Structure 1
Amino acid sequence: MIPISDNIYTRRKPIVNYWLIGINIALFLWELKLELTGELSYFISNLGVIPAQITEAATQALNGNPAAWIVVVMRSTSLLLSMFLHGSFSQILGNLLFLWVFGKTVENIFGARRYLGFYLASGILTGVIQIIAQPNLSVSLIGANGAIASVLGAYLVKFSKAKIDSVLPLLIVYIPVQIPAIFYLFWWFAQQLFYGIGSLNIPTSINQPSIAYWVHGVGFLIGAAYMRIQQRR
């Protein structure tokens, strides 16, 4: 099932959403270039979230090693940068498709600046929870999954009864249908199983099906909670 658009009228162009999609695409093209030159593994290991490295540096810092704080700060930047990296064609296509369909409406509700802050903060917070969930995990975690799950959560709280224009691919025939928005909550989780399709050639392991990788589903709860708070205001 492929979502195309929703039936919610938006008054302004989702500029931030366009920029987020564009940055993700640009960096993925850069990853493809690095794959050809054999530098992709080094790139991912430096910019991806590796819970074990951050946990070890934080432990040393708390035990009185001042130099370790520099490592903590440097490694913590990966919480932001990793949100714009992807490990496979299926991962980036799935993420950006959901961002295209649901992000524009959420941006219209929040406004451009608040939406940008919401998106980035949700992704970073999800990354922190991933580290807490498996502090000894030594593989890179990358992708905008947590942030986009938050966008989906916020959307479903506000527009749980919305209809999503979708395409049902049947071999070479594509049938247009309208699907309730709530369906895509379950479909988003289901498609995580297929994010290994079209993986880039990265010698080091990334996004293994560990607890930490699946914790980005907490992003949905973050988005839903934030939208509830906004509605009460």
Structure 2
Amino acid sequence: MPAGNADLIRILVADDHPILREGVSAIISMQKDMEVAGEAATGLQAIALYEALRPDVVLMDLRMPEMNGVEAIEKIRAAHPDAHIIVLTTYSGDAKALEAMRAGAAGFLLKSSLRRELLDAIRAVHRGQRHLHPDVAQDIALHAIEDSLSPREVEVLQMIAGGHSNKQVAWKLGVAEETIKSNIKSIFGKLRVSDRTHAVTTAAKRGIIEL
């Protein structure tokens, strides 16, 4: 492990926006018990810097070039199961949070709440606890007992969001149009909606698909 002050929580900041990295680093630099160990602009850089620096906590953006945050979390946690990772994102959907948690993240923060929650989240995760933004935790609880969309249903809905008709979706996926209609009926039931537009907006809000 690289040399450093053993009393400090060493933090790796991974985000492709320089201004956000600078802002987070400025907040951390004012704390007596923390220091920024390094900064990464891509998922691949985050993995490489984790190996080189072995920070105590990683702040990981979900959307980055070369490799997204979830994939980077999976890679880091596969090699280092004890890695403490907090997701930073603009997306509050429960699906994104669950995806990150399943990959091994211990915390989920909205970028809009960094000033209020960042430091407490870092300290909590460093102690081995979890930290979820309250709105995200509530969304997860609300949808916990619902059936989740299958990978095929997500694929169908993503294509619908892109403006494709049932016939176009069927052609692209190499299945019958009736199969797509059946998929859509199932999607409506699981999302508790009654039309395509509402299905797309609901899924996007929850982070199931991206617009």
- TM (norm. structure 2) is 0.25
Computing the radius of gyration from Cα coordinates, the structure with the larger value is: 2
- Specify which structure has the bigger relative contact order, considering alpha-carbon pairs within 8 angstroms and separated by 6 or more residues: 1
- TM (norm. structure 1) is 0.24
More strand by share: 2
More helix by share: 1
